[in-house]
Amino acid sequence: MIKIWVISTLELKQKLFKQIEINDNDEVLEQICRILKLGSFRQENNPINIKLKASIDEGHEDYRQGRFVTNEVAKREFRKIGKRLK
């Protein structure tokens, strides 16, 4: 015997709201925010997140503009700097 549960959108929203209200787990709430595309609910409280996001955005833009070096080029440059520091 298969049981089929039919629930209205309103009932589903009410159950979801109730679970969100009683939930104290930051990780779960953060995931809910991401799923609903609300952003991070902790972002305003942590200026490091804002700085980190700005840095990541800058890195993405640099990459799109072709402002990057390969690992091989970076290794060569680090070796040159290391030899000069000795």
**What is this structure's pTM?**
0.36
Q: Left (φ > 0), alpha (ψ -120 to 50) or beta: where does 80 sit? A: alpha
Q: Which two tokens stand for residue 15?
A: 């159950």
pLDDT digits (tens, 9 = 90+) for 56-74: 889 889 989 999 888 999 9
**Reduced 3-state DSSP string for 21-43:** HHCCCHHHHHHHHHHCCCCCCCH
Find out whether 26 and 42 touch, Cβ atoms under 8 Å: yes
Summarize the confidence of residues 78-85 as an average pLDDT: 87
How many angstroms separate the CA atoms of 15 and 63, rounded?
44
The 10s digit of each residue's pLDDT in 1-29 is 666 667 788 888 898 899 989 998 888 88
- Give the CA-trace dihedral at 45, 50, 52, 58, to 10 degrees: 170
Query: Given this model, what pLDDT does residue 41 score?
Result: 53
Task: At 10, list the tokens.
Answer: 């309103």
